[in-house]
């Protein structure tokens, strides 16, 4: 028989990071330990000097964490990965590791709120300049590049407006300029988008979202393509210290086994929800990469393997209509975060993107009536029925007969 690599995303999601099964537990155990004993003084010395591979101390590496890191690296097509205490820890660690005083970073203007304020307000304290641009406009990225631009930071689809940036075009542009491209792939997961295929240098994720998928862990990960970057980032992470603990790693790794199935269902459900909303008279417009009305639909078709589980829309009634709708949902939970099995609904202007301030929000096209739904894997007819009653009545109904969100 021909050699077969067993490297399809569905198979990797179940098996990657686990290793061969012979005489091993099918599920990697939770190594709930801070430290690892050396056989003798020579082994301790060899491990510290890097002459021997092995575990020393859990901030520097732990088998349960390593199994998760190997799984995500395999799914992204990377060489290695570094699990961090949160998505923000991963983003912060990656940026600080790749930038230094005097450098400049070009960043998507539609990014996760705290990423935007990290780049705009915190990095500047260390002499790192930033320009926020609409990265769905490749020409705007070209125009923002400066001689000292070292990193182009992209989130696509962007949060929460779901604008799509052309990864291939931006990577070519950045590389010709000598800059690295870091992509936040949280909204897609490696099942729906693999930024390395388009030339990205580093991929970051909030593991909290689709990768874990069960809304019970906060975590993040940095995925790299080169041994050199891995070694550098491992050292920086070891010094910054924001590592993911073994138990959280175990849970995320467990979540990943159903990632391919979950992503397929998220896409199917979100497509139906987006189509439903698009024809609703109370809705001014809907943004969803699976709708032909999406301004970058063609770019999405090229680089994404599915439109994802997030739908954003604007209500005709603006802020007040948004508030009313959110008080009227009965199945969808009014909560930030996304990518879990349960549907969540939220209002970016007053919640996730409040820290950006009104000017930055306007620049990122976050209007007052914008509502974002993370469409879960429930029966889609139930999700649509909930949105329908919430849009129709717009009045506060707080009792849900299954008692879920009472
Ligand atoms: C949630 C999120 C983050 C931050 O992740 P945390 O785990 O909450 O720190 C970063 N980027 C995107 C796109 C996110 O959705």
Task: Specify the residue with its C-alpha closest to ligand 1, atom 2.
Answer: 206
The verdict on residue 15 lying in a domain is no
Do residue 186 and residue 283 come from a single domain? no
Q: Which of 45, 62, 67 is nearest to 257 (CA)?
A: 67
Q: What is the pLDDT of residues 81-113, one digit of tens each?
A: 999 999 999 999 999 999 999 999 999 998 998
Query: What is the CATH number for 381?
Result: 3.90.1150.10
Do residue 229 and residue 264 come from a single domain? no
Dist. CA 306–CA 60, nearest whole Å = 36
Q: Is 112 in the pocket of ligand 1 (CB under 6 A)?
A: yes
Q: Which of 184, 189, 153 is nearest to 71 (CA)?
A: 189
The verdict on residue 26 lying in a domain is no
Do residue 142 and residue 227 come from a single domain? yes
Sign of CA dihedral 74, 75, 78, 81: negative
User: 274 with 291: CB under 8 angstroms?
Assistant: yes
Do residue 226 and residue 337 come from a single domain? no
The verdict on residue 244 lying in a domain is yes
Dist. CA 49–CA 137, nearest whole Å = 48
Do residue 217 and residue 128 come from a single domain? yes
Q: Ligand 1, from 114, 195, 223, 251: best to mutate by most atoms within 8 Å of Cβ?
A: 114
The confidence score (pLDDT) of residue 357 equals 76
Q: What is the pLDDT of residues 305-355, one digit of tens each?
A: 999 999 999 999 888 888 899 899 999 999 999 999 999 999 887 777 777
Dist. CA 217–CA 209, nearest whole Å = 9
What is the reported pTM? 0.93
Do residue 358 and residue 265 come from a single domain? yes
Dist. CA 251–CA 246, nearest whole Å = 9
- Residue numbers in the chain where pLDDT is lower than 50: 395-406
39, HSE (Cβ side, Cα atoms, 13 Å): 6
Do residue 134 and residue 195 come from a single domain? yes
Dist. CA 2–CA 303, nearest whole Å = 30
Do residue 87 and residue 160 come from a single domain? yes
Do residue 246 and residue 359 come from a single domain? no
Q: Ligand 1, from 84, 186, 192, 205: best to mutate by most atoms within 8 Å of Cβ?
A: 186
Do residue 247 and residue 318 come from a single domain? no
Do residue 273 and residue 339 come from a single domain? yes
Q: Using the 3D structure, point to which of 256, 284, 299 is the last residue of a domain.
A: 256
Q: Is 206 in the pocket of ligand 1 (CB under 6 A)?
A: yes
Looking up tokens 């923000």 gives 88
The verdict on residue 19 lying in a domain is no
Which residue numbers are catalytic? Answer: 59, 112, 184, 209
Total of domains in the chain? 2
The verdict on residue 279 lying in a domain is yes
Which residues face 315 on adjacent strands?
283
Dist. CA 28–CA 39, nearest whole Å = 23
The verdict on residue 287 lying in a domain is yes
The verdict on residue 62 lying in a domain is yes
* Ligand 1 atom closest to residue 91's alpha carbon, by position in its atom list: 10
Task: Specify the residue with its C-alpha closest to ligand 1, atom 1.
Answer: 206
Do residue 101 and residue 220 come from a single domain? yes
Which residues form the domain of 370?
A: 259-405
Q: Using the 3D structure, point to which of 233, 256, 279 is the last residue of a domain.
A: 256
The verdict on residue 13 lying in a domain is no
The confidence score (pLDDT) of residue 150 equals 98
Query: What is the CATH number for 134?
Result: 3.40.640.10
Q: Using the 3D structure, point to which of 229, 256, 283 is the last residue of a domain.
A: 256
Task: Specify the residue with its C-alpha closest to ligand 1, atom 6.
Answer: 87
Q: Which of 146, 147, 126, 145 is nearest to 135 (CA)?
A: 145
User: 307 with 328: CB under 8 angstroms?
Assistant: no
């Amino acid at each position: 028989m021909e050699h077969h690599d067993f490297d399809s995303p569905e198979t990797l999601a179940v098996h990657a990071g686990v290793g061969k099964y012979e005489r091993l537990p099918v599920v990697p155990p939770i190594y709930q330990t801070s430290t690892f004993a050396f056989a003798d003084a020579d082994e301790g010395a060899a491990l510290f000097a890097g002459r021997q591979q092995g575990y020393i101390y859990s901030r520097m590496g732990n088998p349960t964490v390593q199994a998760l890191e190997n799984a995500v690296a395999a799914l992204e097509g990377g060489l290695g990965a570094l699990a961090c205490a949160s998505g923000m820890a991963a983003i912060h660690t990656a940026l600080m590791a790749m930038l230094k005083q005097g450098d400049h970073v070009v960043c998507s203007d539609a990014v996760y709120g705290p990423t935007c304020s990290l780049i705009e307000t915190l990095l500047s304290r260390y002499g790192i300049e930033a320009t926020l641009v609409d990265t769905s406009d490749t020409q705007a990225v070209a125009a923002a590049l400066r001689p000292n631009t070292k990193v182009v930071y992209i989130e696509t689809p962007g949060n929460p407006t779901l604008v799509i940036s052309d990864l291939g075009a931006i990577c070519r542009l950045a590389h010709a300029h000598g800059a690295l491209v870091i992509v936040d792939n949280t909204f897609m997961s490696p099942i729906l988008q693999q930024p390395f295929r388009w030339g990205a240098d580093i991929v970051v994720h909030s593991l909290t979202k689709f990768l874990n998928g069960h809304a019970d862990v906060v975590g993040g990960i940095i995925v790299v393509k080169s041994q050199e970057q891995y070694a550098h980032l491992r050292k920086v992470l070891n010094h910054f210290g924001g590592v993911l603990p073994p138990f959280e790693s175990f849970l995320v790794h467990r979540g990943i086994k159903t990632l391919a199935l979950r992503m397929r269902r998220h896409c199917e459900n979100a497509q139906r929800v987006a189509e439903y909303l698009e024809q609703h008279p109370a809705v001014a417009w809907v943004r969803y990469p699976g709708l032909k009305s999406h301004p970058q639909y063609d770019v999405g078709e090229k680089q994404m393997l599915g439109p994802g589980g997030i739908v954003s829309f604007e209500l005709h009634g603006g802020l007040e209509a948004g508030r009313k709708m959110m008080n009227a949902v009965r199945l969808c939970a009014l909560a930030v975060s996304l990518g879990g099995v349960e549907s969540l609904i939220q209002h970016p202007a007053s919640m996730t993107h409040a820290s950006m301030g009104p000017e930055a929000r306007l620049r990122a096209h976050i209007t007052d009536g914008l509502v974002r739904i993370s469409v879960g894997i429930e029966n889609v007819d139930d999700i649509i029925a909930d949105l329908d009653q919430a849009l129709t009545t717009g009045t506060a109904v707080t009792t849900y007969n299954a008692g879920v969100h009472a």
